A = this chain, B = another copy of it.
Amino acid sequence: MVRDNGGGRPAVAQRSSMADVAALAGVSKGTVSHVLNHPERVSPATRERVEAAIEKLRFVPHGTARSLAIGSMPALGVVLSDISNSLFVDLLEGVERAAQERGAYVLIANSYTDLRRERRYMEMFESVRTLGNLVTINSQHHYANLVRDRDRDGHQPLVFLNYRGEDDRFCFVHADNRAGGAMVARHLVETGRRNIAVVTTPWHLQPIEERLAGFEEAIAGTGARIVSRESCEQIHRADGWRVGRALLPRIRSGEVDAVFAVADLVAAGIAQALADDPGIRIPEDVAIVGYDDNQAAWDSPLPITTVRQPGEGMGATGVQLVYEELNDPTHEHRVVRLGPELVVRASSVPRAAA
């Protein structure tokens, strides 16, 4: 059944359907379907005939029709708030790996932290019946909206990533930012730092506040202390550079012997500013530590100590939770917290001691 599509277009062979295959092989549609999905139920002779027909007609099953019959499509939806953020790229990698292991595709949507897009894509994923969906959240406000929509028409499992909420209808996977902050504190204290400058952002983001809280907690009673708090407007290298310049005198005077910046780009900017000063040696005179382990941390003339986020882990765990909710009737929604990892580089430890 190769229909003519008429008109002057270059003739495109119409796709053949299961019915075509069945006709050519002289069997029923049901048998063709069995060859594809339960080959063991079909006798070798028929199977061969059907397979030959499939090959000959270049038959590729119609995914949409299959999904309709099955009731869902073998794919997971992921809504990322910012695809240019390396944490989310890592996270995506985790999702893809875990999904692939389970034979599912991953549909990615990028929302640019635009709530309208987030909702639009969630709606779409719901509407094409993905197996389940994963959403990265970085604002209370977005979270509240998505949950509200969900009350309207949500049915697939939904897991929130990089966010810790409290709602027993969902699972959450988030990084333990508090522990990450504490790791930095311990590392600095253990390597003999006592007077630490902390560099943060002016806006209040859950993850960043937690890093600082963990840091302060862990530093308490160790003899080390925070001697300065700087903040930069944006998480950009140039901001870090300006902060670095501002800190120069106090570092030269020995008043500050370590800097903890809550983001790598900022830390890299600081390192760049300090490196310009011939009177300062890093890490002998001052240690610099960032957070996130993105390219700015390792790709720097002076590689920077940082905390690696459990990006892939969050992605993979999210997928696991979706499948658990899907298959395990006793599944209880829960909050999974994953530990980050300290990556020590030249910016905080004299090479010999590294």
Write the residues of chain A forming the contact surface with B, with a CB cutoff of 8 angstroms: 7-9, 12, 15, 58, 60-65, 67-68, 73, 75, 83-84, 86, 89, 92-93, 96, 105-110, 112, 120-121, 123-124, 126-129, 152-153, 155, 236-238, 241, 265, 269, 272-273, 275-276, 295, 299-301, 329
Contact = CB atoms under 8 A, between A and B. Distances in A.
B108 A153 contact: no
Given A152-B58, A299-B265, A109 B109 contact: no
A5 to B, nearest CB: 11
A65 B64 CA distance: 8
Contacts of A60: 123, 126-127, 153
Contacts of A8: 329
Given A155-B12, A273-B301, A63 B105 contact: no
Contacts of A299: 236-238, 265
Contacts of A269: 301
A270 B107 CA distance: 39
11 contacts: A60-B126, A62-B68, A62-B129, A64-B129, A65-B68, A83-B83, A84-B89, A105-B121, A108-B108, A272-B301, A273-B301
Given A7-B329, A68-B68, A108-B109, 7 more contacts: A58-B152, A60-B123, A83-B83, A83-B108, A108-B110, A237-B300, A269-B301
5 nearest A-B residue pairs (beta carbon): A63-B127, A108-B108, A63-B128, A241-B301, A236-B299
Copies in the complex: 2
A153 B63 CA distance: 13
A64 B58 contact: no
A92 B64 contact: no
Nearest to A75: B124
B73 A128 contact: yes
Contacts of A89: 83-84
A316 to B, nearest CB: 16
Given A63-B124, A64-B128, A92-B110, A329 B9 contact: yes
A186 to B, nearest CB: 28
Contacts of A67: 64, 128
A67 B66 CA distance: 12
A236 to B, nearest CB: 5
A127 B300 contact: no
A63 B7 CA distance: 30
Nearest to A129: B64
